[in-house]
Amino acid sequence: MKQANRIANLPPYFFAKLNGRIAELKQEGLDIIRLDIGSPDLPPPDFVLQALNRSAADPDHHSYAGYYGIPALRQAIADYYGRRFGVKLDPEAEVISLIGSKEGIAHVPTAFVNAGDAVLVPDPGYPTYRMGVVLVEGKTYPMPLLPENDYLPDLEALPRSVLRRAAVLWLNYPNNPTGAVAPLAFFERAVDFARQHGLLICHDAPYADVAYDGYEPPSMLQVDGAREVVLEFNSLSKSHNMAGWRIGMAVGSAQAVKALALVKTNLDSGIFRPIQDAAIAALTGDQSWVAGRNAIYQERRDIVLAGLKRAGLRARRPKASLYLWPQVPAGLASADFAERLLEETGVSVTPGTAFGQHGEGHVRISVGQATERIREAMDRLVNFMAKGGYSSA
Ligand SMILES: Cc1ncc(COP(=O)(O)O)c(C=O)c1O
């Protein structure tokens, strides 16, 4: 069978590969604790499930449900942005629903990038920013996220020669995998920068509602003038515990929404109506449970921090996101550390290099796992470190 040349440059998706190894280890009887994957372990609240069931019981709700998201969903998204961020959106022109934000992210290059154009991506960063670029034969240019810059990219350091051919700048705060957050002042600088260089900023914000210690992550659309140059991606996966439901959104620049819609209308046929109705319920219903859910994550974050300390591994205290980003012991590659930890203890963490070369030296730990299992995983990690006799980084 003939295959397209472009997939030769597409690496296997890290988690798809890891899932295969984990299935084998389970078969061998190892008790696996998955702290590698950023999927909430808890379900959405009951009123969301009820909305799904009610809608599914309607015989008219099983046909194609339209391309852009039903008007009530786009209105619910606009209302959410108004309530949560004080951002006023036109639901017709500035909002489109996505089959999970990953779908929209992967289609960005098809809509905005020509062969040979550059796409600026955070490194470490969510892999999908890069993969869609490979498929359209664009070039990704990694922007290192370094601890000394609080994991914000140094925009001024980007070479002029790259900026001249750059089409899209990806940002993601609260950040996966580092757990870093961005102040509004950084978003202001980024919007200015995008205007100066004729870039579209794609800001990926699925963790905007997963935050701790009273912190409230901003939307980039809060910046004056952002709606001209920013397309913000968001999702109910993490905010409302609906990762498997596949529902997200892109909001902001009307021109960008239109371009993405043109790609999508040609490639997909929208989202199952009952899922859209459930998302409306999730966005417009009582939000007080979100604080309770975040309190559970916060407790887990603190358990992980305490465990890492006992294990002799250094990590920052994230104010948001599902992730901790500890340093691995000095001299050990993060992939080797993650592999040995998995094979010897059954605790699965993600090597930093799954997110780019600047992820080396770190692993990512997710708090989307039952609290007791996280405790258990930390005990295993502490033993593993004691047995290995590693010194901390
Ligand atoms: C930064 C980031 N963006 C996007 C996604 C994709 O989320 P969704 O479930 O909405 O496709 C994830 C999922 O882990 C993520 O971490």
Q: State residue 295's pLDDT score.
A: 98
Q: 28 C-alpha vs ligand 1 centroid, how far in Å?
A: 31
**Distance (Å) of CA 343 to CA 29, 176, 349:** 12, 25, 11
State if residue 100 touches ligand 1 by the CB under 6 angstroms criterion.
yes
Pocket test for ligand 1, best of 36, 102, 151, 172 (most atoms within 8 A of CB): 102
pTM above 0.85, yes or no: yes
pLDDT at 9 over 90: no
Among candidate residues 256, 195, 182, 279, the one with its CA nearest the CA of residue 222:
182
94-137 pLDDT tens trace: 999 999 999 999 999 999 999 999 999 999 999 999 998 998 99
Residue 239, ligand 1, Cβ within 6 A: no
- Give the pLDDT score at 155: 98
- Closest residue by Cα to atom 5, ligand 1, is 102
Q: Is residue 393 predicted with pLDDT exceeding 60?
A: no
**Three-state helix/strand/coil letters over 340-356:** HHHHHHCEECEEHHHHC
102 C-alpha to center of ligand 1: Å? 6
Distance in Å, CA 388 to ligand 1 centroid: 34
Q: Give the model's confidence band at 16: pLDDT under 50 very low, under 70 low, under 90 confident, else very high.
A: confident
Residue of 141, 132, 134 lying closest to 111 (CA atoms): 132
pLDDT of residue 389: 66
CA–CA gap between residue 334 and residue 246 (Å, rounded): 30
Angstrom distances, CA of residue 254 to CA of 194, 227, 239, 265? 16, 8, 24, 16
* Strand 118-123 relative to strand 166-172, pairing: parallel
How far is residue 82's CA from residue 235's CA, in Å, rounded to a whole number? 16
| Enclosing H/E stretch for 128 | helix 128-135
- For ligand 1, the distance from its centroid to the CA atom of residue 14, given in whole angstroms, is 14
